[in-house]
Amino acid sequence: MKAISVKNIEVNYYTIKEESFSKMALKRIKKKKFTALTNISFDVEKGSVVGIIGVNGSGKSTLLKTIANIFAPDKGEINLYGNSVNLLSLGTGFDPELTGYENIFLSGMLLGFSKNFIESKLDEIIEFSELGEFIYNPIKTYSSGMYSKLAFSIMAFLDSDILLIDEVLSVGDIHFQEKSYNKMLELIKNKKRTVLIVSHNTTTIENLCQKVVWIDQGKLRKMGKTADIIKEYRHFALKFNKEKKLEK
């Protein structure tokens, strides 16, 4: 049974360039299009754990945000078959002016949970986050590690049918990395839950994922069994990084 179906999606970004033509500030606005994803198609079976890999700028995070309906594709379509979806990504979903405590309720309600249900999970979320009294401070005062701890804790206890995880298992102190990794293993054991993980840590992808989607320059390069794709990708990434160093 499918949980996610991605069909021929394209996502474009537009940047605005202003050109001044006179001292009277007469300006003409030009839009420049950048295609972040093009002709991406793949299916994910319900209960599976799939890794998404690619070098920086390949479109991995854009793909997750499109699946989470944060971005609307310019072409193509995504079918989630009625499943609820939760994106765990640094910089996504929190109001920086609100406290961590308030953001728990905000995030939970955006995911469709009732206030009573969120309250029933509140103590577990705060305890797992290890933020202590900082939970009552505004999010804008948090370090990236503190932000990650809260985001992961909310996801772990207010989880949905589909979890989209973008490079957060490697953020924070060593203790919390191990703790969040073990919690991920616990969540993955639920065969009704579908998980997509973006990570540059290929060892994490090998340990957690049955299949891998390889995105390169906004296009689907390959999808297949984890061991096969990771082996080829490591050779590619090594060559890519060497070429980048030579360019500097």
* 219-224-226-230 Cα dihedral, nearest 10 degrees: -50
What pLDDT is recorded for position 26?
47
Contact criterion met (CB below 8 Å) for 147 and 99: no
> Does pLDDT of 27 surpass 60?
no
Contact criterion met (CB below 8 Å) for 171 and 148: yes
pLDDT digits (tens, 9 = 90+) for 46-88: 999 999 999 989 999 999 999 998 899 999 999 999 998 888 7
Domains of the chain, residue spans: 2-247
pLDDT digits (tens, 9 = 90+) for 120-138: 999 999 999 999 999 999 9
Contact criterion met (CB below 8 Å) for 40 and 63: yes
pLDDT digits (tens, 9 = 90+) for 172-195: 678 888 888 888 888 877 778 899
Mean pLDDT of 86-93: 70
> Does pLDDT of 22 surpass 90?
no
What pLDDT is recorded for position 39?
96
Is 3.40.710.10 the CATH classification of the domain at 2-247? no
R_g (Cα) of the chain, nearest Å: 20
Contact criterion met (CB below 8 Å) for 51 and 211: yes
Cβ-Cβ contacts under 8 Å for 46 (sequence gap 6 or more): 1, 2, 3, 83, 192, 194
